[in-house]
Amino acid sequence: MGVSDFVHLHVHSDYSLLDGAAKIKDLISRAKELGMPALALTDHGNMFGALRFEQQCHKAGINPLVGCEFYAAGRSRHERKGTGEGNKYYQLVLVAKNVEGYCNLMMLNSLSFTEGMYYKPRIDEELIRKYSGGLVCLSACIAGQLPQLLLSGKDQEAEELVLSYRSIFGAENYYIELQDHGIE
């Protein structure tokens, strides 16, 4: 696989407060320089940069993949407490693969702020099931539920979670992220 075959699917810009520092134009410029045909934008808990990102990608001849790294409540978005393990939320990356998916991203993003706000704008399994059409799901970074279960030695629960997401999104639309950041 050459560089031109690779596409980043989990990317934060400076719209990811306290986590991303890259400006959208710089991300697109670097992707263009490396010959990447597409680039995703999956900022934390918001889609504030989506329009600018899409416009600038099209101008540069790069296929924009619009997404969001959502905060998912451990149980219900209506609960104002953390999980039994103390997490207030887990992270989950969703990327639109078509117009239906983009509309579902917007709905999830809006509902996360209007119904799920607890430290962060959160969604839950009920909303994920209802608005899963047209979306690709990534298990997220170390702050995702799957990595947290694996780190806790809860392999059976981790496998059940994977099967659940595969049933929601379809096996062809659920991916487990691998990141090499030097963390064991």
CB contact set of 129 (below 8 Å; sequence gap of 6+): 168
Q: What is the CA radius of gyration of the chain?
A: 16
pLDDT higher than 60, residue 3: no
Q: How far apart are CA 19 and CA 43, in angstroms?
A: 9
The predicted structure's pLDDT at residue 166:
97
pTM over 0.85: yes
CB contact set of 60 (below 8 Å; sequence gap of 6+): 28, 29, 31, 32
pLDDT greater at residue 19 or residue 95: 95
The predicted structure's pLDDT at residue 4:
62
pLDDT higher than 70, residue 34: yes
Q: How far apart are CA 38 and CA 65, in angstroms?
A: 7
Report the mean per-residue pLDDT for the chain. Answer: 92
pLDDT higher than 60, residue 1: no
* pLDDT band (50, 70, 90) for residue 85: low
